Amino acid sequence: MNALEKPASSATAWRGVIHAYASYLPVTAATPIVTLNEGNTPLIKVDNFVRAIGGDFELYLKYEGLNPTCSFKDRGMTLAVSKAKERGASAVICASTGNTSAAAAAYASRAGLKCVVILPNGKIAMGKLAQALMYGATTIAIEGNFDEALRIVRELGETGKVEVVNSINPDRIEGQKTAAFEICDVLARAPDFHFLPVGNAGNITAYWKGFREYHLVGKADRLPRLFGFQAAGAAPIVDGHPIADPQTIATAIRIGNPASWQSALDAASESRGHIGKVTDDEILHAYRLIARSEGVFVEPACAAALAGLIRCVHNKLIPTGSVITATMTGHGLKDPDTAIQSAGIQPVVVRANTAAVMEVIGL
């Protein structure tokens, strides 16, 4: 065997975030663990991107698109569905801009629970819709936006007949905080700054909880400053009021009245961080740049965090030598339509002969 090879054994195999971080989570030996071996996602150092944006620091992307349903939601969903099963639930329900519904549907299938997802009609990226349907969720598309879907879900939750697995369920936040643990474990320190996109604001809440808990037990040497970014057409936290008709190309974060609004503000202020907004043009620029410069294909919402970082670099807010992490919350293949529309190039169609191909490549 080559010296670089390290075979997976039953002792080292990754068994998901609950097994990895059980002592930090609200689970007991009686909790039936529903997992798809989520977590343990790569932390990718992206020097080309940093050079391209004129920065002088270390940037690592937490590539959450490599989770089992291709977004960070799997971390919270393994716990939310495990706890729902422990409580004897028969059905789970969520409102979603697409990723929560994909994760809920997958974990519910795994657990043998019924799943109902409520989506804003026509505003769900195609890959995410495909996931809900394939996992067999009862999929309801309302003529309204995410905020209206969440209102309906809250009302249904009050009947006591369904378990709500949106991030208003505290188990979701608990599971999602494990991403902060993994970052500290891999870097053997906490970053100086952490950047991430903000929609319903559960994830920024979860990261701040995770970083604080790890700091408290001495597993992280410092607390990072959290920098969250909303899309300009859907920036209620930045604008200071709910947005009735939020609009952005980044449909994942097309949210006008985030459930975890206050805790997002707390995370930003307690960490001496910031919640800002970036335009769709800035999002699309960063979306292409990270794919072209590093081979990292993310969905548009993730690029909001990168666009925010670009702004911070331009405003000289990032000290030289900083260690920065950023969550790339979902995989680029979730939203093939936006990718194809904004790539700026198209396949070149030619006759099926070598000369025609050579002509296109200029040989």
**At its nearest, how many Å lie between ligand F0G and the CB of residue 338?**
12
Name which of 175 and 330 has its Cβ closer to ligand F0G: 330
Match 């989520």 to its residue by tokens: 38
Are 97 and 145 contacting, i.e. CB atoms less than 8 angstroms apart? no
From residue 84, how far is each of 39, 110, 200 by CA, in Å? 20, 13, 21
**Position among 252, 296, 310, 318 found at the interface with ligand F0G (CB under 6 A):** 252
Q: Does 97 bind ligand F0G (CB under 6 A)?
A: yes
**Position among 202, 236, 273, 276 found at the interface with ligand F0G (CB under 6 A):** 202
Nearest to 71 by CA among 98, 91, 44, 46: 98
* The pair of three-digit structure tokens given for residue 250, joined into one six-digit string: 């980044």
- Build a one-symbol-per-residue string for 54-83: x at contacts with ligand F0G by CB under 6 A, - elsewhere: -----------------x-x----------
Name which of 96 and 338 has its Cβ closer to ligand F0G: 96
**At its nearest, how many Å lie between ligand F0G and the CB of residue 70?**
9
* The pair of three-digit structure tokens given for residue 211, joined into one six-digit string: 């970083």
**Position among 67, 82, 99, 139 found at the interface with ligand F0G (CB under 6 A):** 99
Q: Does 248 bind ligand F0G (CB under 6 A)?
A: no
Q: Does 230 bind ligand F0G (CB under 6 A)?
A: no
Name which of 231 and 289 has its Cβ closer to ligand F0G: 231
Are 307 and 276 contacting, i.e. CB atoms less than 8 angstroms apart? no
Helices 73-86 and 99-111, packing angle to 10 deg: 40
Which residue stretch of 177-185, 200-208, 277-285, 310-318 sits at the interface with ligand F0G (rule: CB under 6 A)? Answer: 200-208
- Build a one-symbol-per-residue string for 151-180: x at contacts with ligand F0G by CB under 6 A, - elsewhere: ----------------x-------------
**Position among 16, 39, 68, 98 found at the interface with ligand F0G (CB under 6 A):** 98
- Report the distance separating Cα 10 and Cα 98, nearest Å: 34
3-state DSSP assignment of residue 91: strand
Nearest to 67 by CA among 109, 98, 39: 39
φ, ψ of residue 78 in degrees (nearest 5): -60, -40
- Report the distance separating Cα 208 and Cα 210, nearest Å: 5
SS3 content of the chain, % helix, strand, coil (to 5): 45, 15, 40
Which residue stretch of 9-17, 18-26, 194-202, 354-362 sits at the interface with ligand F0G (rule: CB under 6 A)? Answer: 194-202
Q: Does 197 bind ligand F0G (CB under 6 A)?
A: yes
Ramachandran quadrant class, 308 (left: phi over 0; alpha: psi -120 to 50; beta: rest): alpha
The number of angstroms, rounded, from the C-alpha of 170 to the middle of its chain's C-alpha atoms is 17
Q: Does 237 bind ligand F0G (CB under 6 A)?
A: no
Q: Does 117 bind ligand F0G (CB under 6 A)?
A: no
Kindly tell me the sign of the dihedral angle through the C-alpha atoms of 254, 256, 260, 261.
positive
φ, ψ of residue 151 in degrees (nearest 5): -60, -45
Pairing status of strand 274-278 against strand 138-142: unpaired
Site for ligand F0G in 282-311 (CB under 6 A): 299, 301
Q: Does 199 bind ligand F0G (CB under 6 A)?
A: yes
**Position among 253, 306, 324, 326 found at the interface with ligand F0G (CB under 6 A):** 253
- Build a one-symbol-per-residue string for 317-336: x at contacts with ligand F0G by CB under 6 A, - elsewhere: ------------xx------
Name which of 165 and 318 has its Cβ closer to ligand F0G: 165
Per CB under 6 A, residues contacting ligand F0G are 71, 73, 96-100, 167, 197-203, 252-253, 299, 301, 329-330
